[in-house]
Amino acid sequence: MANQQTSNWLNSYFPISIWLKNYTREDLNGDIFAGIITAILLVPQGIAYAMLAGLPAQVGLYASILPPLIYALLGSSRTLSVGPVSIAAIMIASVLAAPEIIELGSPVENAIILAAEGGFILLFMAMLRMGGLVNFISHPVLTGFTSGAAILIVLSQIPHLLGLAKNQCGLTLSCYNEYLQHINHYTLGLSLFSILLLLSFGSPLATLLKRFNVKTNIIIGLSKCAPLLAVIITTILVIVYQLSDLQNVAIVGEIQPGLPDISFAFFSNATQWQALLPGATFIALIAYVESVAIAKVTANLRNQKINPNQELIALGVANLATAFSGGMSVAGGFSRTMVNFTAGARTQMAMLIAVALLSIAVIFFTEQFTYLPKAALAAVILIAIFPLIKIREIISTWKYDQGDGFAELITLLGVLALGIEEGIALGVVITILSYLRRTSRPHIAVVGRIKETDHFRNIKRHQVETWKNLLLIRIDENISFANVSYIIDFIEDETINNAELKHIVLIFSSVSYIDRTAFEALENLINSLKNQQISLHLAEVKGPVLDKLKQTTFLEQLSPGKVFFQTIMAVEQLTDKK
């Protein structure tokens, strides 16, 4: 019995224990291949996303070691690849660039605190079981946000691609000439070479290899090697032609070799923690939302389930782990997870293998990355990020629903014009307002009786019996502050020019909740109808609603109006009398 309980507890908090038990040889085959492919992607992505965030390369590599290991133990997705991701990286860059943040400490210190705070926030949300909160960021807002952030990322890489010193000039037309003059043509050459290599390793290579009947696995493996190949070839070019020394091509520079130290030093500074809290909250929320979204996509394809609350725990601990080991904020990466999945990953074992390989790279090969040109990394970022700019999806959302399309577009423009956090906040506000506006017009029907039956139907759609002194109104939704004034207006409009009306029966068959605002408005309605010599009645009131009304003086106020068990009873009593 105790054993059973332990096992349940283990399964729910350490999902690894579920799949590890039934792990097969076949699983291992899939995981080894996927692990190698993912590791090949993880190395350039780790360095590139650190650069994107404005941090030294090792911060991205460190974030690729402990966090995926932790996630493998705690995460409920079997194929999510946790580590540094582009959207979080650009958000980190935006937080770290604020003047009041720069004052507080080095970028690395600030980035570590951002990750630690994010971890605590996610764990706090897990404690409050707030996993469902993510549902309130609607899909259009998320797409608009991602597209906007991706455009920002692309723009941020232009100086690297052209070999311009950063912030030399803005992105205005008057800078055009200046740009042309300052372009480093060697850097541009390396960029173009990398981009072409990355593009040709996509579908063109796959089509070619398929013609030669090459195995699908090998095709996938080869096509995912492009980033590493681009990095290696351009690095060799820089070394051979001394492009860094002679032609001023920007390179990554020395990367600290070896595994990260575990440190708790970042806990000390309260002002810093306070200043970074808003940014950390946004990064943590977006990291969580994107991770769960991609985890669900892959889980659905294999009939597996994602546990939103367990994801909060897993990502929370993973972000604490990245902070302890000197890394940046982590999340489940979209492109990396899809690579891991399509390469055949069955379980998180694939990520464990990838981490092992990456650790070897970090221990033995960091020196080799010193001459890696930033242009190649920018090309890797560019190709990874482009599919996230979903202009076509915005158009199709707009066609489907103008309100949702509007929210999507405004979020995108908000991210570009106002900033990343501001853009998504704007999108959320617009979505909620338009949702409230929509729900503020509930479905209400004046109903009549289908002759000789006890069925009541909408008078607009059916041939039904009605009465001059009695009006039956069916309210098809819960009544709350958002829709009560619409309902009251509807009822009042029905009473105008209706001098013979003596009774109104509200049919509450679909009402399972009346909030306080609605309750008070109904009380006022009773009195206002009484002034017009009209009695209000209720019919088909559900148990919980009636219980609540009984706790108040509502029923006394209603009197002489009554509560009828069935609508037919109201008709019999109220029409016979008159």
Rounded-to-integer distance, Cα 362 and Cα 357, Å: 9
φ, ψ at 283 (rounded to 5°): -60, -45
> Is 451 a binder of a copy of itself (CB under 8 A)?
no
**Among residues 211 and 392, whose Cβ is nearest to a copy of itself?**
392
**Among residues 5 and 303, whose Cβ is nearest to a copy of itself?**
303
**Among residues 109 and 477, whose Cβ is nearest to a copy of itself?**
477
3-state SS assignment for residue 535: strand
In the shown chain, the binding pattern of residues 403 to 442 toward a copy of itself, with x for contact by CB under 8 A and - for none, equals xxx-------------------------xx--xxxxxx--
Please pick, from the candidates 400, 466, 468, 499, the single residue that binds a copy of itself as defined by CB under 8 A. 400
- State the pairing for strand pair 563-564/470-475: unpaired
Residue 29: other Cβ atoms inside 10 A: 13
Of 79-87, 279-287, 419-427, 471-479, the segment contacting a copy of itself by CB under 8 A is: 471-479
Mutual orientation of helices 203-211 and 216-224 as an angle, nearest 10°? 150
Amino acid of residue 175: C
Please pick, from the candidates 482, 507, 522, 574, the single residue that binds a copy of itself as defined by CB under 8 A. 482
Smallest gap from residue 344 Cβ to a copy of itself (A): 17
Q: Do the Cβ atoms of 80 and 68 come closer than 8 Å?
A: no
> Is 392 a binder of a copy of itself (CB under 8 A)?
no
* 252 alpha carbon, distance to own chain's centre: 31
Smallest gap from residue 298 Cβ to a copy of itself (A): 11
> Is 492 a binder of a copy of itself (CB under 8 A)?
yes
**Among residues 261 and 401, whose Cβ is nearest to a copy of itself?**
401
Please pick, from the candidates 4, 24, 167, 303, the single residue that binds a copy of itself as defined by CB under 8 A. 303
Rounded-to-integer distance, Cα 348 and Cα 340, Å: 10
> Is 11 a binder of a copy of itself (CB under 8 A)?
no
Cis peptide before 373 (omega within 30 of 0): no
Residues 237-296 that bind a copy of itself (CB under 8 A): 296
Name, in order, each residue with C-beta under 8 angstroms of 275's C-beta and a sequence gap of 6 or more. Answer: 100, 101, 104
Provide the terminal-to-terminal Cα distance of the chain, rounded to the nearest Å.
70
Q: Do the Cβ atoms of 85 and 334 come closer than 8 Å?
A: yes
Smallest gap from residue 59 Cβ to a copy of itself (A): 34
Please pick, from the candidates 19, 139, 158, 214, the single residue that binds a copy of itself as defined by CB under 8 A. 139
**Among residues 261 and 547, whose Cβ is nearest to a copy of itself?**
547
Rounded-to-integer distance, Cα 328 and Cα 92, Å: 9
Region of residue 325 (phi > 0: left; psi between -120 and 50: alpha; otherwise: beta): alpha
3-state SS assignment for residue 460: coil
Long-range Cβ pairs for the range 449-458 (8 Å, 24+): 449/568, 449/571, 454/566, 454/567, 454/568, 456/507, 456/567
Smallest gap from residue 198 Cβ to a copy of itself (A): 29
**Closest C-alpha among 422, 390, 415, 421 to residue 405:** 390
> Is 561 a binder of a copy of itself (CB under 8 A)?
no
Residues facing residue 458 across a β-bridge: 447
Token duo for residue 553: 């003086």
Residues 510-549 that bind a copy of itself (CB under 8 A): 510, 512-513, 515-517, 519-521, 524, 527-528, 531-532, 548
Rounded-to-integer distance, Cα 190 and Cα 185, Å: 9
Smallest gap from residue 308 Cβ to a copy of itself (A): 9
Rounded-to-integer distance, Cα 235 and Cα 298, Å: 35
Region of residue 163 (phi > 0: left; psi between -120 and 50: alpha; otherwise: beta): left
**Among residues 373 and 442, whose Cβ is nearest to a copy of itself?**
442
Residues 322-341 that bind a copy of itself (CB under 8 A): none
**Among residues 19 and 193, whose Cβ is nearest to a copy of itself?**
19
Smallest gap from residue 131 Cβ to a copy of itself (A): 10
Count the site residues for a copy of itself by CB under 8 A: 58
**Among residues 132 and 560, whose Cβ is nearest to a copy of itself?**
132
In the shown chain, the binding pattern of residues 78 to 117 toward a copy of itself, with x for contact by CB under 8 A and - for none, equals ----------------------------------------
Smallest gap from residue 405 Cβ to a copy of itself (A): 8
Beta strands in 369-502 (DSSP E): 444-449, 456-458, 470-475
Rounded-to-integer distance, Cα 378 and Cα 226, Å: 14
Q: Rule CB under 8 A: which residues touch a copy of itself?
A: 132, 135-140, 296-297, 300-303, 305, 396-397, 399-401, 403-405, 431-432, 435-440, 443, 476-478, 480-482, 484-486, 492, 510, 512-513, 515-517, 519-521, 524, 527-528, 531-532, 548, 551-552
